Each structure stands twice: as C-alpha cells, then as structure tokens.
Structure 1
Amino acid sequence: MGEVRRAAVIGAGIGGLTAALALARRGCEVVLFERAPELGEVGAGLQLGPNGMKVMAALGIADAVRAAGVVPEMVELRDHDAGRPLMRLPMGAAADARWGAPMVNLHRADLVEVLAAAVKEAGVELRLGREITAGGTVQGEVEGKAFDIVVGADGIRSTLRAEIGQGSLPRYTGHVAWRALVTRDPAEPAVTALTLGPDRHLVTYALRGGTLANVVAVARRADWRGEGWFEEDDPDTLRATFAGWNDAAEALLARVEQTWLWGLFDHAPLPRWHLGRLVLLGDACHPMLPFLAQGATQAVEDAWVLADAVGAEGLNGLETYAARRIDRATRVQRAAVAQGRLDHLGGLVRPVVQLGMRTVGAVTPGFAARRFDWLYGHDVTAG
C-alpha cells in the first residue's frame, strides 16, 4: 500500500532529526518543519544509551556523536548520607563489549548539531519558524503540500496527537527536576554519579571533553505551580531541597550559579500511534520519566524502526512500526517508573535495600550489568 517517497517530519528535536535522517538514507524526500526560528535544545545534558548508539552507528554518525560527547567509565550509585558507593555499573569499553556500543553523554545542543549536519548532507529540506498544528496531516497535507506520510515528532506537547483522536492533556507526575551546568576538571574520571535519597536523587556526569558537569536533581513535589513547562529558579532553592546530603553533593550544588526547574509530565498510554498518513514518535506518543535516562534513546529507536518499516512496506509499514515499538516503549516507561520508586525509597526500608545493593554489588559484580541487558542490549537495527 503506497510507496513512501515524500515525508514531512514535524519537530526538529532529537527524534525528529533522527527520523528525517533515517528516512532520507532510504531515498525518501524529506521536509523537516520546526516551530523555533533556529535549531537548538532547551536544557543541558542527556545520556544516549548503547541501544541508541547502535542506531547512530547504522546511520553512519557514531564517530561524530562520540567525538561530541563523553564516554563514561562507569555509572556509580551512591547513598545520600555519606556518598558511599552502593553499586557500580561498568561502562566505556565494558559496555561496548557487553552491549555492542558504549553509552555517550552529550550536551543536547551538541547532539542536535551533529544530527542537523547529517540531515543537511542527506538533502533534507529544513523549514524553521513553522508552527504546524492539527488539520490535514492525517491526509498527508502540511502547509498545503501533499506528503506520503507525516511524522509527528513534536514532543509531549504535541498538537498532532489530537488528530489521531488522542487529545488528552499531559499530566503532572508529582516530580520536578532542576538542571544546571558547572565547570569541572577534565582530568577527573568520567564517572556518572547517581546519588539516592528519600524522595529525591541527584545525577551528575561529564560533558564537552569533561570540562562541564551536567547536574540533574529530581525531587517529589505535590503540584506544579509554574505557568509553563519550566522556569528559571533560584539556586538556593535547589540547595535547600538537598540540604544535609553528603559533603561532595553539597559542594557540587554550591557551585551552581544558574538553574532551571522543570515539571515532569506524562500522558496516558495511547492505544494507537498512527492514523491515515500521520504517525507519532518519541515524547509525542510515549513520554519517559528520566529515571532510566531513555527519553532521547527511545525516540532514536522509534525513528530507525519507522524508517525501516515504511522503507520496506510503504504505508503498511506504519502498522509494523507500531507493532514493533509499542510493547518495547511501554516496558521502558514502566521500568522508568519502577526505577524512580527504587531511587526515592525512604523510611526504614531504605537502609535495608541499600545494604542489599552493596552486598550484591560486592558478591556478584555482574549483577548490575545483567539488570540492563534487556534495555542496552536491544538492537533495533538488527531487524
């Protein structure tokens, strides 16, 4: 049914750029629409998992992505009281050997730059400053032009989701996240540190050759009073929220000069991801809480599978895409929620669980890696 020769992609975030590149690599004429007047990403860092790096390799840009980011040596879980290690997950060469690719930490803007250069080289037409809303995209029309498919990669605030009959508003999840950047000594080991405490956690990792540390601090909050999705916040509010944590955590937060506070939202699972010629990917159809750092990576997986399916089957491939992706994305969403509960344990159960983590980590060093085989070992490019 219907060869896909011309595609419109709405949204030039990481998922949209990857989809545009993957479609163009299969000989499709692609027009990429972005409402912002210039390319960029609000926010700071992201972690692109080994499962996402396999897609980058298949698209021929893995070396550029690695060069733009930092490959961490390990992920280390720590307690909030004294900063003691609870469990370690080897990364770097160990991840490459175990899962077929490394994890790479990047500034969002740097990954966007790599992807943007690749889509331009692939002949994708980029139209900036274009706000595309619902109306005609199910039939394949955008700005009065006909397309074989329209890809809605316009994020959790997707205006296109309503056109497939899924217009529910995003819901606040009871969590907020501060994001900040601070300078660091590039000679320090590139360790991604996840510090766990009651109802909150703190993540730090190196960016830009190790010269910057990305800081993500997540805490429970009963409601979101911000007028938008994020707002600039007083660094002292961040510090007060994590007061009493270990010396290293407090010293890190003391260096924060500017921070942005985000409300964390999701929306109800969608029973379908496509209708007619319109198809959704990434946060438009499955927003992820950040507890597994898989939001960008799952959008990248979506992009590859979508391009692979429609390249082989035309419009019929939209059904194949959904069939291949819904269960996987749903599993990752649920696992992220479960990980958040584990990260934020409090009360009497917390020291018991953390003692178990230290014991298992010492007795069975490979346990942590095995827990993530299903996630990082997955390879959508293998078919």
Structure 2
Amino acid sequence: MRLCGRGRLKAALIDLKTERNRRIPNPDQVIIAGAGIAGLTLALALANRGFQVQIFEKSATLAEIGAGLQLSPNATRLLDRLGVLERLKYSSVEPQAICLQDGTSGEKLLHLPIGKAAKERWSAPYIVCHRADLQNALLTEARSRPNIAIQLQSAVTHHKADRQSVMIRVQYHDRIEEHRAALLVGADGVWSDMRTAMFDTDRARYTGTIAWRSSVAVEQLPESFKTLLPAGTNVVAWTGTNAHLIAYPIRSGQMINFVAVAPERQNGRRWDIQINPEGVSQNFIREFAGWHQGIRDVMRVGRPWTPWRLLEMKKCRFQLGDRLLLIGDAAHAMTPYAAQGAAMAIEDACALACALGTDSTTWSSALAAFSSARTQRITAVVRRGALNQLAYHAKGPLALARNILLRNRPVEKFVKGFDWLYGFDAEERKPDT
C-alpha cells in the first residue's frame, strides 16, 4: 500500500521517535552504571566540574536498605564540598570517642577522642549515620543538579570503547537504548556486571565470616548493657576470640546500630547457600556465650539479626580500558575491619573527577595515574583492616599482649597513627615528580 504525503510524514515522525528512543548521542557526557554511594558521589563531583552526567540504575526504586556506617574525616571533607554533609546534619551523629573494651570482662582498653579533636587535627568531622540517610542525602543533592540525569530500571548490557568514546547499550523496560559517552564508569557494586563481563573469573571472594546487624531503640537497651557504655556518645568495639561487636548511635541518636562479626559455622566458606536468619541466629549468638552478660542480653533484645556475608576482591581493579573504569566495591570490595568501605567509594569518586581535565585527549594518562594512585591507597587500607581484624579477634597470649598495649600506649601515638588515613585528601593534586 502506497502512503500519501501526509501518511509518509507521519511514518517519518514515528521512525524519528523510534530512533530517538533507540539512540541518544551525547559524546561529551559521562555515563555511570549504578546509583549507590559511589555512583551518586561521582555524579556530584563531576557535576561540580561542569560535566554532563547520566546514571543508569538497574533497580526500580532506590530503597532504604543497609544499616549504619562510619564516615571518617577523609570522607566527610569531600561530602562537605559536595553539599551533602549539610544534608546529613540532622540525621547523623558526631561521636565523642572510639572506645575499645574487652568483650568478656567489659574492661576498658582504649578511649580515643574523635569529636572536637577530629575537626582540630584533620579539619573535618567523624560521623556515624544510617546508610539510607547518606543515600538519600546524595540522591537529593544529585536531583537538584540540572546536569545530572538518573534513569531507573536501566541495566547497562553492552559496551564498546575506542580511544575517543564508548558506546553503551541499555536495557530499559522492553527496549534497548544506545548511548555514546566520553567515559563509562562501573559503580555497580560487589557483583559488578561490568567487571564480570570482562573478567568472568575475577569475582568477589567469600571470607567465611558474617557481619550480623541489628538496630535497637535507645530506650529498649537492657540495663546490663548500659553499664558497659562509656559516658557520652561513642563508637564502642568489644573484642573477643574470633569475633567482635561494634555499637554506635544512628538516626539522630535515637537508635543504636550493632554489628557483630563472627565466623559462619554452618556453611564454612560457601556463599551460595541461603542463610535463614531465624534458624541460624541461635547458633550465631552462641559465639558470644562466654561474653559479658550485658552483651548477651543485648543480643537477645536485638533479634532478628540480619546476616551480611563479608566479601572481598582478591585483586583491586580500576581501569578496564581507555574509556572504561570501575570505582567503589566494583573495583575493590573489602572487609569492614577498618570501617572504610563507604569512605573509599567516596574517595574514588572525588579523586576520579579531580583527575579528569577538560581535554579528553589527555585522559588516557590521567586515568592510568588515577588507577595507580588509588590502588596504592586501597592496598594500604586493606592492610590496616587485616591488622585490625587480628587485634579484634586475638586470643590467648596475643589477646593479653594486645590489652596491655592498648592500656599503656599513649593516646597521642594512637591518634598520630590515623593521620595517613583520616588526614588524606583525595582531591589534592600531588606535584609531578
């Protein structure tokens, strides 16, 4: 059937609309896969430098999931520059100290001031908050920026890069979109599709340890546990054989977030077996059977405890190609013993945005330098985490030696030992050597 002039025009308009749905060319934009902490932070850092940013997120909604997290000064100074720290002001808490105690006796081992002292020494606060509150603060700030677009239910399914740009295919509902960009960044978490697409065997490794999480309203804390808490608002860690417990306030101090880390006895190092919290929680609590009565009481009050298997990447991997990068857990998932998982994602994002100049022809060398510098930084943080794990889970003579050291070493030496970590500025450009 032949179309008249009006019919041909209508058909042409339909074809044009279809083409626009299929292909949205913008070679100057940066595309980010994933709208978690790393992806949203990167979008804000890039927007501050004038970039157009498009985020594609697989989830249909950005749900309030997760639990509490600690944000040390190396992260909060960056969030402050992005306008996010102000949004966290009413939901976060600035603890006065980090305290270490013996999980069996309740004995106080170390009191490390971090409240006013953190601002004075590292020029930024140490805060604790709920992960959802940080996510919401980042998302609210991102949605206020005209040069950031966020599209949900959109999975990056394919990418092809050359030295000038990268072409991305995105599955959006029942159609495929194609986008061209100057850079594609995978911020899609520990099970990154971008990473496994290029390195199928390079996946996160299960450590055989679980972090059990719970939150308890302050008024519901048992009196036996309250006697263990130092005066003031603090992050408190109790050490023990092969396990430890951490507690700190969240949600403006109305809730106490708990993280109990212990080995998984039932399935060993199998991560592909479903955990039944109701069935396993009793076995998990038995790990703390010999601990202080106050800790055993709060574990009963905290039910149900939510299990999170601890994963880590064997190899830190940032750069996948000239126009392809990973950041956050997609690049270097790590265990939480240094409390730096979120902080490293924030550092990655801000350091990457800082590395990119306005001339994309120089990006190849800039991204290589970024990858090298961040790998060194992550390696140092992972080592500190391994040292902390050894100290937290020590037993026998090693635990005795640890307690003696913590009780007798001057606090100033412990504080000085954090300068390299908390005093670090990811946006500070190092002089050329």
TM-score, structure 1 as length reference = 0.92
Distance in 1 separating the partners of 2:340 and 2:275: 20
- After superposition, residues 126-137 of structure 1 pair within 5 angstroms as 126-136=150-160
1:248 and 1:313 mapped to 2: Cα distance?
60
Shift in alpha-carbon separation, 1:52–1:112, aligned structure 2, 3 A: same
Equivalent residues in 2 for 1:148-297, closer than 5 Å: 148-165=182-199, 167-185=201-219, 189-221=232-264, 223-225=268-270, 227=272, 232-234=277-279, 235-270=281-316, 273-297=319-343
SS in 2 for 1:136: strand
Structure 1 residues 320 and 250: alpha-carbon distance in aligned structure 2, compared to 1, 3 A threshold: same
1:270 to partner: Cα distance: 3.6
TM-fit CA distance, 1:58: 1.7
The size of the alignment, in residue pairs, is 378
Superposition deviation, residue 190 in structure 1: 1.6
Distance in 1 (alpha carbons) for counterparts of 2:85 and 2:106: 34
Question: In structure 2, do the counterparts of structure 1 residues 121 and 174 end up closer, same or farther at CA, with 3 Å as the change threshold?
Answer: same
In the alignment, structure 1 residue 115 sits paired with structure 2 residue 138: yes
Query: SS at 1:348's partner residue?
Result: helix
Amino acid at match of 2:168: E
Say if 1:185 and 1:210, in contact at 8 Å, map to a contact too.
no
Counterpart position of 1:141: 168
Range that drifts further, 268-277 or 146-155: 268-277
- SS class of match (1:382): coil
Q: 1:306 to 1:76 in 2, by over 3 A?
A: same
Q: Secondary structure of 2:249's partner? A: strand
Question: CA offset at residue 206 of structure 1?
Answer: 0.2
> Which secondary structure does the structure 2 equivalent of 1:67 belong to?
coil
Confirm or deny that 1:5 pairs with 2:28: yes
Give the deviation of 1:230 after TM superposition: 6.6
- C-alpha contact (below 8 Å) 2:103/2:238 kept by paired residues: yes
Aligned twin of 1:300: 346
The answer as to whether partners of 1:34 and 1:128 remain within 8 angstroms in 2 is yes
Q: Distance in 1 between matches of 2:338 and 2:219?
A: 26
Q: Provide the secondary structure at the position in 2 that maps to 1:181.
A: strand
Q: Which residue of the other structure, out of 90, 93, 114, is the alignment partner of 1:91?
A: 114
Please point out which of 13, 19, 25 is paired with 2:42: 19
**Stretch of structure 1 that moved more, 80-89 or 242-251:** 242-251
Q: Secondary structure at the match of 2:112?
A: strand
Displacement of 1:163 after TM fit?
4.4
Question: How far apart, in 1, do the equivalents of 2:216 and 2:79 lie?
Answer: 28
- Tell me, in whole angstroms, the C-alpha distance in 1 between the residues paired with 2:277 and 2:337: 22
TM-score (norm 2): 0.82
**Match of 1:194, as an amino acid?**
A
Larger relative contact order (Cα-Cα within 8 Å, sequence gap ≥ 6): 1
Aligned to 1:54: 77
Distance 1:35 1:341, change over 3 A: same
Residue number in structure 2 paired with 1:370:
416
> 1:323 Cα shift?
2.7
Bigger CA radius of gyration: 2
1:125 aligns with 2:171: no
Contact 1:287/1:295 (<8 A) preserved: yes
8 Å contact from structure 1 (residues 233, 260) kept in 2:
no
Alignment of 1:323-338 (within 5 A): 323-338=372-387
Q: Residue in 2 aligned with 1:103?
A: 126
1:359 Cα deviation (Å)? 1.5
Percent of paired sites with the same residue: 32
> How far apart, in 1, do the equivalents of 2:27 and 2:95 lie?
39
1:368 is paired with a residue of what secondary structure? helix
Deviation at 1:236, TM superposition (A): 3.0
Corresponding residue number in structure 2 for 1:70: 93
1:320 aligns with 2:369: yes
Partners of 2:358 and 2:412 in 1: CA distance: 39
Gaps of 5+ in 2: 1-25, 171-177, 221-225
Return the alpha-carbon distance in structure 2 between the equivalents of residues 137 and 258 of structure 1: 47
- The one-letter code sitting in structure 2 at the alignment partner of 1:125 is A
Distance between the aligned counterparts of 2:298 and 2:257, measured in 1? 11
Cα contact 1:4–1:310 (8 A) shared by 2: no
Q: 1:231 to 1:147 in 2, by over 3 A?
A: farther
Aligned CA RMSD, in angstroms, stands at 2.3
Paired residue secondary structure (2:214): strand
- Deviations 1:306-362 (CA, angstroms, capped at 9, x unpaired): 1111135533332232133110011111211221111111122211221221111xx
The alignment partner of 2:39 has SS state of helix
Equivalent residue in structure 2 for 1:81, among 90, 104, 121: 104
Amino acid corresponding to residue 241 of structure 2 in structure 1:
P
Query: Helix, strand or coil: the match of 2:110?
Result: strand
Unmatched 5+ residue regions in structure 1?
none
Q: Is the 8 A contact 2:262 2:284 kept in 1?
A: no
Q: CA deviation at 1:268?
A: 1.6
Q: Distance in 2 between matches of 1:330 and 1:243?
A: 35
Report the Cα offset of residue 105 of structure 1.
0.6
Contact kept in structure 2, 1:134 and 1:159, CA below 8 Å:
no
